[in-house]
Amino acid sequence: MGRSPCCDESGLKKGPWTPEEDEKLLHYIQKNGHGSWRTLPRLAGLNRCGKSCRLRWTNYLRPDIKRGKFSQEEEQTILHLHSILGNKWSAIATHLPGRTDNEIKNFWNTHLKKRLIQMGFDPMTHRPRTDFFAALPQLIALATLRDQLAATACGGGGGGDTAAAAAAQIMQGAGGGGGGGGGADVAIQAAKMQYLQCLLQSAASTIASAGSGGGGGGAMSAHDADAALAAAAAAAATCSSSPAGSSVPITPTAVGHSGGGQTQTTPCAFSEAPVITSDDVEANLRLLGCGGGGADAFTCHGGSLPPLADLSDVTTTTMTNPLDWCSATASASSCGGGGGASSPFPWPEFFHDDPFITDFL
DNA sequence: AATGAAGGCAACCGCAGAAGG
DNA sequence: GCCTTCTGCGGTTGCCTTCAT
């Protein structure tokens, strides 16, 4: 499309518009209509290119533009339409009177996208992330963290790493009281699993989200990496705040999922969206290791999209009830790791050979 | 109070499709 | 049918403001 950009002409002003320029443009369009954008600047006495004038008019000067914060209804509309249309901002804007595509795009990029990521959803598909392999870099990092955990828990030291310290608290709280016996082991193991679960889920969702945009390639941007780290930190904090010795599972509510049979507690703007199938829900729950979710745990995203990964063959053979996962895990092995032979942990089988994974089983 | 970081938003850039000659 | 022009769209950038240290 060898078209030379309209702004190539030298001498045309760029950058922020002055009130005087705004006034000129406004008066001209109100008087004559915009007509041809290319000729408009000259006729209006503006030293701008037509493109710049059009943008200024459509995004700022147009009289019907609604300014100010987006309402809850608008937010829901954007989320719902985006789940259907994707980044078709102009199409989305047609459903939001007074809002420009640019404004919606900005709102999405600065608010909604981040929120979805932090909730553990893929902002492109509006579905919970299930890309386990995308989290492998995080697993490696977690392996290092695990070593720190072991050192902290056994040595009883303080630990500068927040996550490590939190996990150490979990472990110590669960195992506290000394001798422990079987019950303490169960609690410790459960705490470990829950902590790992939170970290993995968070890492998988955020990292996969970051790498999911645009046709599959691409390195993660620093921005997304930050979001990932933030989400991981949030998940870790959530895990650490739960009483490890209790029987209440640490659900991923903090990152947007609901577990333990309760409904979504995080404010969810997808409530009007179609409900995904129970099969999808179960597959997601199994992979994420989130116990006890009902179908209503994932009512917040579009149901028309295919699953991100077909996990049924991996998961259905290992467990049939997400709740079994935790209960079985809790009785699997002792704190030192060692080893339960046949684990209900829903990893692909070849992961059972991984020292890091097996140590948690 | 000063400074750096992060967030929010306006504007620019380049591409693609439609329209006209 | 081809070429040029115009318009619209989506991605990205950079500036300004706000917040945290």
User: A292 and A149: one domain?
Assistant: yes
User: A208 and A350: one domain?
Assistant: yes
User: A226 and A329: one domain?
Assistant: yes
- Nearest nt (C1') from A106 Cα: B9
Share of residues in chain A with pLDDT > 70 (%): 33
User: A198 and A293: one domain?
Assistant: yes
User: A85 and A231: one domain?
Assistant: no
Q: Is the CB of A234 under 7 A from strand C?
A: no
Is the per-residue pLDDT at A55 higher than 50? Answer: yes
Q: Per residue in A61-92, pLDDT tens?
A: 888 888 888 888 888 888 888 888 888 888 88
What predicted TM-score, i.e. pTM, was given to this entire model? 0.49
Q: Does A9 map to a domain? A: no
Q: Is the CB of A234 under 7 A from strand B?
A: no
User: A155 and A108: one domain?
Assistant: no
The pLDDT value given to residue A143: 58
Q: Does A14 map to a domain? A: no
The pLDDT value given to residue A2: 29
Q: Is the CB of A16 under 7 A from strand B?
A: yes
Domain with A269, as residue range(s), is: 133-360
CB distance A319 to A325 below 8 Å: yes
Q: Does A37 map to a domain? A: yes
Q: Does A278 map to a domain? A: yes
Mean pLDDT of A252-268: 34
Q: Is the CB of A14 under 7 A from strand B?
A: yes
Q: Say which range, A70-84, A122-136, A149-163, A184-198, has the weakest mean pLDDT.
A: A149-163
